[in-house]
Amino acid sequence: MSNLKNDRFIKALLKQPVDKTPVWMMRQAGRYLPEYREIRAQAGSFMNLCTNPELACEVTLQPLERFDFDAAILFSDILTIPDAMGLGLYFTEGEGPRFENPVRTAADIEKLPIPDPEIELKYVVDAVRLIRKNLQGRVPLIGFSGSPWTLATYMVEGGSSKTFSRVKGLMFEQPNLMHKMLDKLAQSVAVYLNAQIAAGAQAVMLFDTWGGALGTEEYLEFSLHYAQQVRSLLNTTQNGQQIPTILFTKGGGQWLEAMAETGYDTLGLDWQTDMHLARARVGDRVALQGNMDPITLYANPEVIKSKVATILEKYGKGSGHVFNLGHGILPDINPAHVKAMVDAVHDLSGPYHS
């Protein structure tokens, strides 16, 4: 990445040598930062913040002013695609995302459009352009989307769910209908990620937040198959540079071997998967990203440092590790504890790369 002042993150994703293990954090632009809460209040609502490219750019860059992160991630939401499909996304206090028009019938699935990112999702693509411009090559910018299966869970359930009974019911009862929906979503996700890449995203990540709710056969057929379809449709070269890809299935540690065959450069790990065993299982096929338990950040800086040391040691020598949490940071974490984590990764990882 010739135009990057710090390309450690990109190199690690591609398993190329680095001087230190790179680190970034899921939800690094978020409510744990007082400066984020200020902009969020100014925006009036979460969706107003997401749909305003200038404000989305501002909150994307905020964490980089405070911490020595090796990447920025676009500030957006995984549910932008279903919203652009006309499902009427809204957020309720304490309940999370909801849809006015959930997808329940064959007719609902039939009429789902494939959104044009330069029209219905232009605010996201504009934010990518603006962030990339304002980063001025400091660190790479990560674009992202929810996975087809994860988007489908929200679309069919009408929001968050503990049991996934509606979406799994549809999957078991009418698998052909489910496949039709997921195929449409895979195409939409690929078009959306390709638009982010064209606008300046230097790596892209697929968040399969709810893949882990499935049994093995169903995961392979209804989640991983469509993640692989998305990957096969991505334009992973831009201006002569390779655009690395990351696949993260929360609760998916038991399927790493299958995930490593999908063509993604890197697999995200949650905290329930042992880093040492994960590396032994995937070998040199992919890089690994993760995987500190987000709750660790409630502990004091010395504990955080020792946990960082353990994860680095478990990955061991050589490139191909991006340090991250095993899921997003929680809103009431002390920012000083984030600094302790980031600094520990950089301070302790050098010997693993010498």
Task: For residue 338, give its domain range.
Answer: 8-353
Instruction: Give the domain CATH number at 277.
Output: 3.20.20.210
17 within a domain of the structure (yes/no): yes
Residue 86, judged by CB atoms within 10 A of its CB (0-12, 13-18, 19+), counts as middle
Q: Give pLDDT, residue 92.
A: 83
Number of domains within the chain: 1
pLDDT digit string, tens, across residues 82-104: 999 999 999 987 788 999 999 99
Instruction: Judge whether 2 lies within some domain.
Output: no
1 is a domain residue = no
Q: Round the average pLDDT of the chain to a whole number and report it.
A: 97
pLDDT tens digits along 297-353: 999 999 999 999 999 999 999 999 999 999 999 999 999 999 999 999 999 999 999
pTM listed for this prediction: 0.98
- 165: pLDDT strictly greater than 60: yes
Q: Which pLDDT band, with edges at 50, 70 and 90, does 263 fall under? A: very high
**Mean pLDDT calculated for residue range 128-145:** 98
> Is residue 3 a part of any domain in this protein?
no
Task: With respect to residue 274, please indicate whether it lies within any of the assigned structural domains.
Answer: yes
Q: Is the pLDDT of residue 2 over 80?
A: no
Is residue 262 in a domain? yes
SS3 label, residue 2: coil
To the question of whether residue 28 is assigned a binding role by annotation, the answer is: yes
Residue 311 falls inside a structural domain: yes
Report, as residue numbers or ranges, the catalytic residues: 27, 31, 40, 77, 154
Residue-level pLDDT at 239: 92
**19 known member of a binding site:** no
Q: pLDDT tens digits, residue range 48-69? A: 999 999 999 999 999 999 999 9
pLDDT for the residue numbered 310: 98
pLDDT at residue 1, as a whole number: 45
Instruction: Tell me: is residue 353 an annotated ligand-binding position.
Output: no
Does the N-terminal peptide bond of residue 291 adopt cis geometry, omega within 30 degrees of 0? yes
Is residue 77 marked as binding?
A: yes
The residues near 252 (Cβ < 8 Å, ≥ 6 apart) are: 208, 211, 212, 219, 259, 270
Q: Where are the alpha helices (DSSP H) in the chain?
A: 8-13, 34-43, 46-50, 53-66, 80-82, 106-110, 122-135, 148-157, 165-173, 175-199, 216-218, 225-232, 256-259, 275-282, 301-315, 335-349
Distance of CA 316 to the CA centre of its chain: 24
